[in-house]
A = this chain, B = another copy of it.
Amino acid sequence: MYSALTTHIAKFVSLDETETEILRENLVFLSVKKKENLLEAGQTCHYQYFIVKGLCRNFIINEKGNEQTTQFGIENWWLSDYLSFHNDRPSGFYIQAVENSELIAIEKKAMETLLAKVPKLERYFRLVLQKAFGASQIRIKYLFTQSAEERYRHFSTSFPEFVQRVPQYMLASYLDFSPEFMSKIRAGKV
């Protein structure tokens, strides 16, 4: 159940038996169904979620009432609203399962306990964040320099398997254009 996470951690730091045990004590395993929300706007985000299996996303609801996906997470990624988590303030985001998913959640206080007992994990989480932040920097670069069509073509050639797994309208909002426009790009009518 926890092996996906321990395997992932092992790529960055090595834990002994005792440490692995302490880790487990501070985690919660959960299964969520497609469309289920792990966080809703207005709530404070008390968890970081590791995706063992499945696909989840962060999204917001804009003033027109439309959902806009701001981030996807698949196997071996962490999802959270880090600002809400960090400051204990209400979030503006939703976190939702796109597919039926298996997750490992770590609660903020449990995380502090864990990190106090297994300081090595500070390194693991630092490296995870470094990678995530790097990805976010690149994403902003693409949002700034590419047209809607370029973003679609670039994304779908880079992650063809991924594109299969999400509805078009979610991908459209992640790439920051309308579902209708996506449809026209795909039909070559643009």
Contact = CB atoms under 8 A, between A and B. Distances in A.
A144 interface: yes
A18 interface: no
Interface stretch (A80-88, A153-161, A163-171): A80-88
Contacts of A37: none
Interface string A116-133: 000110110111011111
B134 A136 contact: no
B138 A83 contact: yes
A70 interface: yes
Q: How many copies does the complex hold?
A: 2
A134 B173 CA distance: 20
Interface string A65-96: 00010110000000001111111000011000
Given A138-B83, A140-B140, A133 B129 contact: yes
A123 B119 contact: yes
A58 B137 contact: yes
A123 B134 contact: no
A20 to B, nearest CB: 19
A145 B83 contact: no
Contacts of A87: 134
Contacts of A176: 143-144
A143 B143 contact: yes
Nearest to A140: B70
Given A126-B126, A129-B130, A131-B86, A60 B136 contact: no
A115 interface: yes
A61 to B, nearest CB: 9
